[in-house]
Structure 1
Amino acid sequence: MATWLAQANRAAAQARERGLPDSPQAARDGLASMTCRFCGTGPAMAWERDITAGPENTPVRLYDPVPDLPKPVCVYLHGGGHMAGSVAVYDPICRRLAAAGNCLVAAVDYRLAPEYPYPDGLTDCLGVLVHLQEALDAAGCLTNGHLSLAGDSGGGALAATLASLLRRHQSLRLDRLLLVYPSLDYTLPAYPSLQENGTGYLLETSKIRWYFDHYFQQGEDRRQASPLYMGMDGLPPTLVITAGLCPLRDEGLAYLQQLRQHCIPYQHLHLPDMIHACLNLHELVPEACERIYQTMTDFMHA
């Protein structure tokens, strides 16, 4: 990991020296290229299908390792700063989660900023959640009524936000919430991890701010939109996974503190030597990634 990170930092420095500008397409290409190179292909599935769900006909990819048996459902929201990532990019990650968890994974291809700023992607994901079961029934999926919601990074922000919003939705209940190095505070206060890990560890503080500026385009109240400040009462049991070298580490810890204060059942996995987006680097850090998948599996089935 250290050797690759040094190479990545040199490449980023050279790009800055050449005056190459940041752009949404560059962010998308970079995440896709990194994941393709270092994440592998993931295991084969016994059954998979692309469907649409919700009022926006949002694309959803289904992964079912055991289609003949009822199983829990895990809705997965990919990372990428609300700007990058897709179901196609995250395909190996979703395959591994479905195989490890013996669950039906429903990966949501929500719309991305800046073309579709806040709250469009959030609206897509909410629509999918509310209408997912009818879409699964139409696709012939066998489920057992247990529903988890998971996401990493920006997808973790969406998942945590949706969990808060769904507290007011009487007909849909989340059984588990799983957040992997999540983004939880759009205000970017002076967390120590933003300073300690804000440069040189793949995701940089300046890039986080850039992502958020493309996501919030109409002067929205970023604090009000942050899941960290939405209150904790009524949330489902929650797993938070943090990485020691991630700039988002401390907002994950702040979220855990609030879960404790509000007596929400929780579990915390901390990986002190890992960087942000390590799931996308499976072939570099396979043991850490397998530990994440196993922890998610155990938590979903607890």
Structure 2
Amino acid sequence: MSMSVKTIWAAGAVVWRRTDDGIEVAVVHRPRYHDWTLPKGKAEAGETLLDTAVREIAEETGYSVRLGRHLLDVGYDLEHSRKNVRYWAARAVSGEFVANREVDQLRWITVDEAAGLLSYRLDRKVLKEFNRLPADLHTMLLVRHAKAGRRSRYKGDDRLRPLEKAGRKQADALVNVLGAFGVDHLHAAERVRCHQTFEPAADHLALPIEGEPVFSDEAYEQAPELTQERALRLAADSDGIHAICSQGAVIPALMEWWADHHGVALPPNRNRKGSIWVLSLLDGRLMAADHIPSALPTAD
């Protein structure tokens, strides 16, 4: 009789910084294993993998980071389990390394030097994906509003339909997601449910929510080119990390147009309420798009 194999999830990143000489990445040494590897660690109960990556990087390296492009998920077999690790690119924004019980050395080195130092083939595979695109891509998030019940059951002006209990929980969970990517500009379609989706993050980050009339379903249906133009303008603004909350008819059509416009393949997605697109941009041009199906902790 076959036995089921336990799956363990972990998360980490290629942590990088820009210097006068170019891009450097952080590689850590673990005395327990006598290896050189990328910062990573196991998920704790109640965490998303985004949370795990940010926490583990801080614990192992001493650095606070801003996540960017999803790189790869890799997996390998342990004695009684299967371990999967999700990796992002992550820019170091502050901090300093101090040796700890898990990591006794950290080296900032070039990508080529890291490829020669890393102990594991899968780490080198992740590093290769990191190096496939420029490191300092700009990030923008496109969020579908959280759950607000069914339109058919709401009596009154649909523009005023509020979040339901499950939607408020989703909105609360978005706080950590937006924080992990360093969001500092919030935009929402002119619908109560869109503004409410960002309200917990606005309170936590002390940010205003800018109304965006062209990101409603009706506006997009009437003049999609206006929504596309506004999206491109926000994408070209490299002075901040923008997050836009929009509606279910806008997002798939906008992403399909955008991906076709810039020749990017989109990953599978179901456009569920509360889901997030992470857009990686270079001078306003879409270079990669990652999809997060939920801000809530889920079993991957």
TM over 0.5: no
Q: Between Structure 1 and Structure 2, which shows a larger proportion of helix residues? A: 1
> TM-score if structure 1 supplies the norm length?
0.31
Please identify the structure whose Cα radius of gyration is greater. 2
Q: Between Structure 1 and Structure 2, which shows a larger proportion of strand residues? A: 2
> TM-score if structure 2 supplies the norm length?
0.32
